Amino acid sequence: MKRAISLAVCLLLLAGVFPVFSQTNEFPQGTAPMRTDIPGPAIAIPNIDLQIRQPQTNQEVAFSIQLLLLLTILALAPSLLILVTCFLRFSIVLDFIKRALSLQQVPPTMVLNGIAFFMTLFIMWPVFNDVYTNSFRPMADGEIGLEQAYTRAEAPLRMFMFRQMETNTSYIGLFMSMGGLDQPATLADVPTYALVPAYILHELTVAFQIGVLLYIPFIVIDMVVASVLMSMGMIMLPPVQISMPFKLMLFVLIDGWGLLTQQLFNSIVR
């Protein structure tokens, strides 16, 4: 009973004290004054306004289409770099040599792509320099228009692709026949939209041919190791685990990276 009476007295005291603090806006005496307002931003942030409206003239419509095409080309720029240069051949051959050596994680795929990229940049530098000198620089100076700049930039890449396919033009004839086009009298009569897929198939064919030739000596090592293990009765031991050190020693002793790089360079620059 005494506990119930004391609990009721405490509740009454609390009910009388809290309204006093809730009705006043001042802090109790002896406390430090505090500010509750939030200061504004110290750095001025500019306002960006983007308006979308309907085109008023045909020139504005043409400009919008050109801008859309430009953004599309920029989005496809990495693919264009891969497909119209020698990067495709280099990346496939380097992946073949990695698989032939029975390597899984070393070197990483990013490293192989980096090697292929810088080798492509080294070989394609004269072509890129020609494009910059005769196409981009005059267009930036206002000497030529966009269409003429495109024509001048297209010519060195076309010549590079034609030089790679000069010994095998069957893919050009294949795409010309599938497109219902007339037999070209000169190389200039071959349209670019037929030349690019023909060049891609040619690069895939050459890369796979090089990859098969690279696989042959390493397959011989695998067969020899597998035969030795079978004759010794070690059937449960994976032959790849034993043959990989021998393949690595062979590849290092013959300076495989140097020979591979030199032969890839010679296959492009004749």
pTM of the model: 0.69
| Domains: count for the chain | 1
Q: What b/e sequence results for 38-72 when a residue is b if at least 16 CB atoms lie within 10 Å of its CB, and e otherwise?
A: eeeeeeeeeeeeeeeeeeeeeeeeeeeeeeeeeee
- Whether residue 34 is contained in a domain is answered as no
- Whether residue 74 is contained in a domain is answered as no
Cα–Cα dist 162/140, whole Å: 28
Instruction: Provide, rounded to the nearest whole percent, the portion of the chain with pLDDT above 70.
Output: 76
- The stretch 59-77 carries a mean pLDDT of 71
- Whether residue 187 is contained in a domain is answered as no
- Whether residue 30 is contained in a domain is answered as no
User: Count of CB atoms within 10 A of residue 86's CB?
Assistant: 23
Say whether pLDDT at 20 is over 70. Answer: no
- Whether residue 9 is contained in a domain is answered as no
Between 3-7, 51-55, 68-72, the lowest mean confidence (pLDDT) is in 3-7
Residue range 78-88, pLDDT digits in tens: 777 788 888 98
Say whether pLDDT at 172 is over 70. Answer: yes
User: Count of CB atoms within 10 A of residue 79's CB?
Assistant: 9
pLDDT of residue 51: 64
The residue with greater pLDDT, 66 or 123, is 123
Between 19-23, 42-46, 129-133, 154-158, the lowest mean confidence (pLDDT) is in 19-23
Instruction: Say what the alpha-carbon torsion angle 156, 158, 163, 165 is, to the nearest 10 degrees.
Output: 160
- Whether residue 232 is contained in a domain is answered as yes
- The stretch 60-70 carries a mean pLDDT of 69
- Whether residue 254 is contained in a domain is answered as yes
Residue range 141-170, pLDDT digits in tens: 777 777 788 888 888 888 888 888 887 778
pLDDT of residue 22: 43
- Whether residue 120 is contained in a domain is answered as yes
- The stretch 208-223 carries a mean pLDDT of 87
Residue range 97-116, pLDDT digits in tens: 888 888 877 788 888 888 88
Domain hosting 117: range is: 84-168+204-268
pLDDT of residue 263: 87
pLDDT of residue 13: 46
pLDDT of residue 208: 92
Cα–Cα dist 152/143, whole Å: 13
Average pLDDT over the chain reads 77
- The stretch 125-139 carries a mean pLDDT of 85
Say whether pLDDT at 53 is over 80. Answer: no
